[in-house]
């Protein structure tokens, strides 16, 4: 299948004329007769994704491999029970030690600050770790572009609601992974702006949820017949084992559902 890339000519009057060009076009920026032509192109050949991964791993340094291991650790933490076990516990501790507006503001502040810092650290680690797979990212980008007939959508093309859902459910490690594949570019410097946006957005979501939880807890404490159930709920939500159990049960339910669908389709 022939590969194409997008080029755009920007003229002195501000007119932009996009066009598709063969992927063998060389990247250049040149001024000609008052017109500036920016040609954005892709590699002439991608090979398979598997061979690109093997090539990137063979050419990686031990430092890059160490960063990759750290990235996988962050992924296990974010996509596993780690994040769910630590963040709620911390927020519940703040709510339990305060009351009134102080509790609401403190819970929101701690939830936002802790989440934003954590997500920024994990995202930048992932960006540095995934920098190992430069050729893999370019190969994946070119394959997606060929299948879609246009460059794939990335973080910048999504609505803020979609961005919030993605980063809240999957974390900045997933954001960096998707961004690397949909842009064909890797590196901490290349993706730091997206990581910062995603980390702040995730922090805002968690901070808002923490404020709501603190407000509900404060109302429950003020009503005599709700005081005991409120403290009971706080103890449960603040127990990391509860969140670990939830993650495990959800994973088992998903696996059981997939096996059942497979059995029904094969039967």
Look-up of token digits 């403190």: 106
**CA nearest neighbour of 207 among 117, 123, 120, 115:** 115
Residues 115 and 16 in one domain: no
Examine residue 265 and state whether it is found in any structural domain, yes or no: no
- Give the C-alpha distances (Å, rounded to integers) separating 167 from 49, 100, 115, 229, 254: 26, 30, 11, 32, 21
Gap between the Cα atoms of 181 and 246, Å rounded: 31
Residues 57 and 32 in one domain: no
Q: Mean pLDDT over residues 142-168, rounded? A: 92
Examine residue 132 and state whether it is found in any structural domain, yes or no: yes
Model pLDDT for residues 166-199, shown as the tens digit of each residue: 999 999 999 999 999 999 999 999 999 999 999 9
Q: Say how many domains are in the chain.
A: 2
Residues 15 and 125 in one domain: no
Residues 162 and 74 in one domain: yes
Residues 16 and 101 in one domain: no
What's the pTM value of the predicted model, to 2 decimals?
0.75
The predicted structure's pLDDT at residue 51: 87
Residues 129 and 174 in one domain: yes
Examine residue 12 and state whether it is found in any structural domain, yes or no: yes
The predicted structure's pLDDT at residue 82: 82
Examine residue 66 and state whether it is found in any structural domain, yes or no: yes
Examine residue 266 and state whether it is found in any structural domain, yes or no: no
Cβ distance 198 to 76 under 8 Å?
Answer: no
Spell out the residues 6+ positions from residue 184 whose beta carbon is closer than 8 angstroms to its own. 42, 137, 138, 140, 141, 142
Examine residue 18 and state whether it is found in any structural domain, yes or no: yes
Distance of CA 149 to the CA centre of its chain: 25
The mean of the pLDDT values for the chain is 82
SS (H, E, C) 56-68: HHHCCCHHHHHHH
Residues 67 and 149 in one domain: yes
Cβ distance 126 to 172 under 8 Å?
Answer: yes
Residue 86 is part of which domain span? 49-258
Examine residue 154 and state whether it is found in any structural domain, yes or no: yes
Model pLDDT for residues 249-259, shown as the tens digit of each residue: 888 888 887 77
Cβ distance 113 to 206 under 8 Å?
Answer: no
Residues 85 and 15 in one domain: no
């Amino acid at each position: 299948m022939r590969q194409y890339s997008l080029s755009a000519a920007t003229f002195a009057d501000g007119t932009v004329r996009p066009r598709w060009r063969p992927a063998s076009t060389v990247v250049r920026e040149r001024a000609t007769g008052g017109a500036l032509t920016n040609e954005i192109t892709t590699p002439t050949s991608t090979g398979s994704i598997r061979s690109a991964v093997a090539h990137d791993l063979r050419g990686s340094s031990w430092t890059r491999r160490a960063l990759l291991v750290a990235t996988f650790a962050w992924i296990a933490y974010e996509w596993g029970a780690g994040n769910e076990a630590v963040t709620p516990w911390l927020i519940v501790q703040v709510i339990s030690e305060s009351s009134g507006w102080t509790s609401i503001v403190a819970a929101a502040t701690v939830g936002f600050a802790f989440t934003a810092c954590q997500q920024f650290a994990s995202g930048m680690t992932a960006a540095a770790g995934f920098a190992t797979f430069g050729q893999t990212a370019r190969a994946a980008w070119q394959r997606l572009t060929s299948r879609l007939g246009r460059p794939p959508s990335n973080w910048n093309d999504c609505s803020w609601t979609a961005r919030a859902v993605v980063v809240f459910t999957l974390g900045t490690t997933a954001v960096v992974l998707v961004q690397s594949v949909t842009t064909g570019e890797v590196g901490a410097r290349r993706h730091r702006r997206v990581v910062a946006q995603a980390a702040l957005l995730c922090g805002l979501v968690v901070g808002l949820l923490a404020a709501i939880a603190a407000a509900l807890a404060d109302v429950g404490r003020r009503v005599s017949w709700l005081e005991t159930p409120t403290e009971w709920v706080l103890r449960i939500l603040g127990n990391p084992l509860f969140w670990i159990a939830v993650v495990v049960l959800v994973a088992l339910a998903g696996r059981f559902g997939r096996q059942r669908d497979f059995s029904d389709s094969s039967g």
